[in-house]
C-alpha cells in the first residue's frame, strides 16, 4: 500500500485499493489519512473523496496541534497552558452568578470525584479525542455508574467547549466521541393501598407531613423540608417558593428557578387539613416554617435548624418496614405518585409539568409517558363518528 507524506509532522494520505498512486485521482475509492495526535498516538480517518479534502484535513489537524501559541491570542495562549483543574475552577467561579446553587454543586462534585483525579493536571491545550476516550474507559473500569458518567461527561464537555470557544483548542476533542449511554430506569410508583399503609406506619408527624406534601402536591424532598404555613395562599393552592439546600441545609431557590420565583400547585383538601393540623398542634417559627429544630418531632439535638436530606431518611426506612410494603420505595416515589395521580385521571401533561417544576415538558413526558391513557384508539373512535 503506497502512501504520500506531507511536510514533516503533518501526516500521510493513502488509498487501500490496488490502484497505484498515479491512478488515485481517477479511481473511485476514498482517501484515508494517518497522523499523530497531540499525545503522540497514531490515528486514522477515512472517507475523504478527493486528495484536496484529505490534505486540507491533515493541515487542519497540524494547525490544531501547533495550538494557539502562534496565533497571537494572549488569552488563548494563557488558557492552553493552564492545568485543566485551574481553568475549570475559574470558569465555574465566573459562572456562579448565573447558575443555581444546586447546579454549581453538581459541577463541582463532578470535577472533584470523576474529572480532576484523572485529567485535572493535564494542560487544557493538549486535550484530544484520545484523551477523552481514555478517561471514559477509566470510568468504566472503575465501575462508575452510568448516571455519574453522563453527568461528569457533560461537565467536562462544558469546560472544554468554553476553552475551545476562547481559542485555546482548535479541534473539538469530543468529535466522534460517543457519550455514556444512560437511560433512567422506569419509575416505581406506590398504589393508593400502599400509600395508605405507609401513612399509617409513620411514627411521627414530621415524616407524615413530608409524606402528605410529596404525594399530595408533588413536592421534592427539599421542598417538603421547607414546608411553610404561609405557602397556603388559598384553600386549594400551595405556593412552593423555596427548598432546603441538601448540603448547606438552609433555604435556597427552587430547582430551575431564580430566587423569588415560585410555582403554585393544587392543594387537596386532605393535604390542607394535615398541614393545618400540624401547625395547630406544634406551631411554627416566626417565619412560618413547620419542620425546624425543636418543632414537631424535631428535637433540640438536631445538628441544623432545618431538616437536611438525611434527617427523615432513617425514619422513612423504618416506616417502610413497619408498613409491610414489600417494594423498596424511596421518598421520591411519593412525588411520582402525585404525577401518576394527575395523569391517570386525565389532567393535561402540560399542567403536570408545570406543577412538578420540570425544566421542560419533554422531561415529564420521558418519565411518565407510560402513564398517559392510550389516545390513538380513542381518537380513531371519535373521528369515525364524524366521518
Q: 202 and 322 share a domain?
A: yes
Q: What is the pLDDT of residues 199-247, one digit of tens each?
A: 999 988 999 999 999 999 999 999 999 999 999 999 999 999 999 887 7
263 lies in some domain:
yes
Q: What integer pLDDT is reported at residue 44 of this predicted model?
A: 84
Nearest one of 327, 184, 331 to 246, comparing CA atoms: 331
Cell of 232: 397556603
Q: 239 and 206 share a domain?
A: yes
Percent of the chain with pLDDT over 70: 87
Cell of 322: 413497619
Q: What band does 154 get if pLDDT is binned at 50, 70 and 90? A: very high
Q: Is the pLDDT of residue 68 over 60?
A: no
351 lies in some domain:
no
Q: Angle, nearest 10°, between helix axes 192-201 and 205-217?
A: 160
Q: What integer pLDDT is reported at residue 7 of this predicted model?
A: 61
Neighbouring C-alpha atoms within 13 Å toward the C-beta of 145: 8
Last residue of a domain, one of 22, 49, 70: 70
Q: 230 and 324 share a domain?
A: yes
110 lies in some domain:
yes
Please state the φ and ψ torsions of residue 81, each to the nearest 5 degrees: -90, -10
Q: Which domain holds residue 282?
A: 194-328
185 lies in some domain:
no
Q: Rounded to whole angstroms, how far apart are CA atoms 127 and 122?
A: 8
Q: 323 and 211 share a domain?
A: yes
Residue found by looking up cell 413526558 in the block:
365
Percent of the chain with pLDDT over 90: 34
Q: Angle, nearest 10°, between helix axes 349-356 and 332-343?
A: 160
Q: 44 and 97 share a domain?
A: no
226 lies in some domain:
yes
Q: 27 and 42 share a domain?
A: yes
Residues 178, 180, 185, CA angle at the centre, nearest 5°? 140
Q: What integer pLDDT is reported at residue 156 of this predicted model?
A: 94
Q: 42 and 85 share a domain?
A: no
Q: Is the pLDDT of residue 278 over 70?
A: yes
Highest mean pLDDT range out of 66-80, 141-155, 190-204? Answer: 190-204
Q: Over the chain, what is the mean pLDDT?
A: 84
177 lies in some domain:
no
Q: What integer pLDDT is reported at residue 3 of this predicted model?
A: 65
Q: 219 and 324 share a domain?
A: yes
User: Can you give the pTM of this predicted structure?
Assistant: 0.62
**Residue 244 pairs with which residues in a beta bridge?**
251
Q: What CATH number is given to the structural domain containing 321?
A: 1.10.443
Q: What band does 376 get if pLDDT is binned at 50, 70 and 90? A: low
Q: 86 and 116 share a domain?
A: yes
Q: What is the pLDDT of residues 17-40, one digit of tens each?
A: 888 888 888 888 888 888 887 666
Q: Rounded to whole angstroms, how far apart are CA atoms 288 and 232?
A: 11
Cell of 46: 477515512
Q: What CATH number is given to the structural domain containing 128?
A: 1.10.150.130
Q: Rounded to whole angstroms, how far apart are CA atoms 218 and 255?
A: 14
Rounded mean pLDDT, 98-117: 83
* Neighbour-count burial of 224, counting CB atoms closer than 10 A to its CB (0-12 exposed, 13-18 middle, 19+ buried): buried
Last residue of a domain, one of 144, 165, 186: 165
Q: What integer pLDDT is reported at residue 2 of this predicted model?
A: 62
Alpha-helix runs per DSSP H in the chain: 51-66, 74-81, 84-95, 101-110, 116-119, 129-141, 146-165, 192-201, 205-217, 221-225, 269-282, 313-323, 332-343, 349-356, 361-368, 376-385
Element holding 46 (H helix, E strand): strand 42-48
Q: Under 8 Å CB-to-CB from 320, ≥6 apart: which residues?
A: 198, 201, 328, 329
Q: 198 and 307 share a domain?
A: yes
Q: 204 and 301 share a domain?
A: yes
Q: What integer pLDDT is reported at residue 170 of this predicted model?
A: 80
Highest mean pLDDT range out of 75-84, 195-204, 250-259, 303-312? Answer: 195-204
Q: What is the pLDDT of residues 110-153, one digit of tens each?
A: 899 999 999 999 999 888 888 898 899 888 888 888 888 888 99
Q: What band does 1 get if pLDDT is binned at 50, 70 and 90? A: low
Number of domains in the chain: 3
DSSP state of 111: I
Q: Is the pLDDT of residue 159 over 90?
A: yes
Amino acid at each position: 500500500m503506497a502512501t504520500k507524506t506531507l511536510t514533516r509532522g503533518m501526516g500521510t494520505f493513502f488509498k487501500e485499493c490496488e490502484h497505484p498512486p498515479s491512478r488515485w485521482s481517477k479511481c473511485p475509492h476514498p482517501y484515508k489519512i494517518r497522523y499523530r495526535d497531540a499525545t503522540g498516538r497514531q490515528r486514522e480517518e477515512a472517507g475523504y473523496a478527493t486528495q484536496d479534502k484529505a490534505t486540507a484535513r491533515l493541515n487542519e489537524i497540524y494547525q490544531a496541534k501547533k495550538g494557539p501559541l502562534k496565533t497571537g491570542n494572549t488569552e488563548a495562549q494563557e488558557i492552553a497552558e493552564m492545568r485543566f483543574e485551574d481553568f475549570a475552577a475559574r470558569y465555574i467561579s465566573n459562572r456562579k452568578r448565573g447558575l443555581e446553587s444546586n447546579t454549581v454543586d453538581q459541577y463541582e462534585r463532578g470535577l472533584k470525584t470523576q474529572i480532576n483525579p484523572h485529567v485535572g493536571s493535564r494542560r487544557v491545550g493538549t486535550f484530544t479525542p484520545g484523551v477523552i476516550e481514555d478517561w471514559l474507559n477509566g470510568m468504566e473500569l472503575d465501575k462508575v455508574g452510568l448516571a455519574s458518567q453522563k453527568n461528569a461527561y457533560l461537565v467536562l464537555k462544558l469546560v472544554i467547549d468554553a476553552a475551545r470557544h476562547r481559542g485555546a483548542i482548535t479541534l473539538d476533542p469530543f468529535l466522534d466521541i460517543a457519550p455514556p449511554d444512560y437511560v433512567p430506569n422506569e419509575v416505581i410508583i406506590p398504589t393508593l393501598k400502599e400509600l395508605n399503609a405507609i401513612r399509617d406506619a409513620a411514627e411521627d408527624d414530621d415524616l407524615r407531613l413530608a409524606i402528605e406534601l410529596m404525594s399530595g402536591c408533588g413536592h421534592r424532598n427539599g421542598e417538603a423540608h421547607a414546608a411553610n404555613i404561609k405557602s397556603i395562599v388559598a384553600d386549594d393552592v400551595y405556593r412552593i417558593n423555596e427548598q432546603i439546600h441538601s448540603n448547606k441545609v438552609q433555604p435556597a431557590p427552587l430547582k430551575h428557578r431564580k430566587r423569588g420565583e415560585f410555582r403554585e400547585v393544587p392543594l387537596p383538601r386532605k393535604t390542607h387539613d394535615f398541614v393545618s393540623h400540624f401547625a395547630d398542634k406544634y406551631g411554627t417559627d416566626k417565619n412560618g416554617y413547620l419542620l425546624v429544630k425543636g418543632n414537631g418531632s424535631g428535637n433540640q439535638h438536631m445538628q441544623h435548624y432545618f431538616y437536611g436530606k438525611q434527617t427523615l431518611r432513617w425514619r422513612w426506612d423504618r416506616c417502610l418496614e413497619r408498613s409491610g410494603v414489600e417494594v423498596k420505595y424511596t421518598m421520591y416515589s411519593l412525588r411520582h405518585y402525585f404525577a401518576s395521580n394527575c395523569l391517570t385521571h386525565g389532567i393535561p401533561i402540560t399542567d403536570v409539568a408545570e406543577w412538578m417544576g420540570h425544566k421542560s415538558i419533554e422531561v415529564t413526558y420521558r418519565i411518565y409517558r407510560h402513564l398517559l391513557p392510550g389516545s390513538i384508539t380513542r381518537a380513531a373512535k371519535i373521528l369515525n363518528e364524524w366521518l
